[in-house]
A and B are shown apart, each in its own frame.
Chain A
Amino acid sequence: MKARAFSYFRARTIEEAFDAHVRCADEARYIAGGQSLVPALSLRLQAPRLLIDITHIAELRGVRREGEFLRIGALTRHCEMLSEPLIAEFAPLLRAAAPFVAHPAIRNRGTLGGSIALADPAAEFPAMALALDAEIEIAGRSGKRRVKADDFFIDLFETALEPGELIVAVHVPLFKSGQRIAFDELARRRGDYAQVGCGMLATYTDKRVDDIRIAFFSVGSVPTRAKQAESVLAGAVLDAAHVAAAQAALANDLMPPDSDDVPPAMRLHLARVLLGRLLGRLGEGA
Chain B
Amino acid sequence: MSERDAYVPDEAEETVRVRFVVNGRKVACDASPRETLVDCLRTTLELTGTHAGCEMGACGACLVQLDGRAVHSCLMFAVQADGAAIDTIEGLSESGAISDLQAEFHRRNALQCGFCTPGMLVSAHELLSQTARPTRDEIRDALSGNYCRCTGYEAIVDAIEAVAKARASASCEDGGVA
Contact = CB atoms under 8 A, between A and B. Distances in A.
A50 interface: yes
A13 interface: no
Interface string B144-165: 1100000000000000000000
Interface string B22-37: 0000000000111010
B126 interface: yes
A109 B71 contact: yes
A137 B60 CA distance: 34
A103 B69 CA distance: 13
Given A5-B13, A105-B60, A39 B75 contact: yes
A104 interface: yes
Interface residues of B, number: 38
A38 B75 contact: yes
Contacts, number: 107
A102 B122 CA distance: 17
Nearest to A49: B9
Interface of chain B: mostly helix, strand, loop or mixed: mixed
A5 B32 contact: yes
B40 to A, nearest CB: 12
B55 interface: yes
A34 B123 contact: no
A39 B57 contact: yes
Interface string B42-68: 000000000000011100100100100
Contact of B34 (A2, A35, A104): A2
Interface in B125-149: 126-127, 140-142, 144-145
B94 interface: no
Contact of A103 (B4, B36, B144): B144
Contacts of A108: 66, 69-71
A4 interface: yes
Contacts of B4: 19, 23
Nearest to B8: A23
Contacts of A99: 141
A106 B69 contact: no
Contacts of B20: none
Interface of A: 1-10, 19-20, 23-24, 31, 34-35, 38-39, 41-43, 49-51, 53, 55, 79, 99, 102-106, 108-109, 189-191
Given A39-B75, A190-B140, 9 more contacts: A1-B55, A6-B9, A10-B82, A51-B33, A55-B80, A104-B123, A108-B66, A109-B75, A191-B144
7 contacts: A55-B80, A79-B69, A105-B71, A105-B122, A106-B57, A108-B71, A191-B145
